[in-house]
Amino acid sequence: MNIIRPIRQSDYSSLHEIAVESGIGFTSLPVNEELLKNKIERAEAGFTSQVSQPGCESYLFVMEDTQTGKVVGTTGIEAAVGLDDAFYHYHLGKVVHASRELNIHNTVDILTFCNDYTGVTEICTLFLRECARGGINGRFLSKVRFLFMMEHRERFSETIIAEMRGVSDEEGRSPFWQWLEEHFFSMDFPTADYLSGIGNKVFIAELMPKYPIYVSLLSQRAQEVIGQVHEKTRPALQLLQEEGFSCRGYVDIFDGGPTVEANLTHIRTAQESRKLPIIIDDQTAAQGRSYYIINTSVDDFRAVATEMVVSEEQQVAVISRQAAAALNISAGEYVRFAPVHSKN
């Protein structure tokens, strides 16, 4: 059985392996010992914090195979971005150049540098190791965040965003960044991406063009990748689109990848989730359907995906002893859950 739980210091070596495997462009997991350890420390502080509104808390989870004890994936939430340091995007908009006298009307796409998402909640750092890909593991890592946020709504913004990895090649070259590099930065994409990932963002404010950029001035290849995702990111984007996320014209300033957003209460898994007390009965639970299930704790959070029966008459959820042990709960305690749909 796979469980999802808060990360801890002893998971450092596993997180480092995941960071290496994730490759260039996965900004939230830089291959840097100090920064990875800081991420774990921030997450430990986040899970033990007492808060009434979203702040700078970070929540980083890992998926653990209970049979082997091996960490096979990670997923995270930033409660409110842009409060400690600036959170940058380009917004893809339009301007109209028109002359009634000459009967000319041209609509032009522009990219405007902005901080519009300051203070919103970001889901991030989702990566499943190749050895664990298959089945519902990827969906489980994605959806568990919405159950956690729905259960602890005071900790998160109503607006949830996700930055999707943009187009780059195997060497980390980004067509979008190549144009910016040539004209403004004189720094390759892997270097810029790494500096941003380790929190060194001063260079962005210093060197990024402050005025709107006419998209038509970019190279043809750069124009083509604006709002497009890396081929390895397409499954993650599809998952979020199924949940109700959409892009409102915001793209990453380095690779042009789209940022998608949704309101928490409109996210499919959050909408479908319910909260009920449990009873433990192996025989009955085995006859049920599959659910994503979480306990209601923060610092002792646990999640599983397994069979469960919902008794509408008794208003209880019936789970197995194995599931109860994995969730670290006893009979009468509450769980929040959402169904695993057949296409999952």
Q: Which residues belong to the active site?
A: 230
Sign of the Cα pseudo-torsion (150, 152, 158, 161, in order):
negative
Question: Which pair of tokens denotes residue 259?
Answer: 């940022």
As a whole number of angstroms, the distance between CA 9 and CA 27 comes to 21
Q: What is the DSSP string of 314-334?
A: TTEEEE-HHHHHHHT--TT-E
Single-letter amino acid, residue 243:
E
Alpha-carbon distances of 134 from 68, 129, 131, 137, 237, rounded to whole Å:
17, 10, 9, 6, 17
Check: CB of residue 135 under 8 Å from CB of residue 141.
no
Q: Tell me which H or E stretch contains 137.
A: helix 137-151
Check: CB of residue 251 under 8 Å from CB of residue 92.
yes
Check: CB of residue 24 under 8 Å from CB of residue 193.
yes
As a whole number of angstroms, the distance between CA 133 and CA 51 comes to 35
145 three-class SS? helix
As a whole number of angstroms, the distance between CA 138 and CA 174 comes to 26
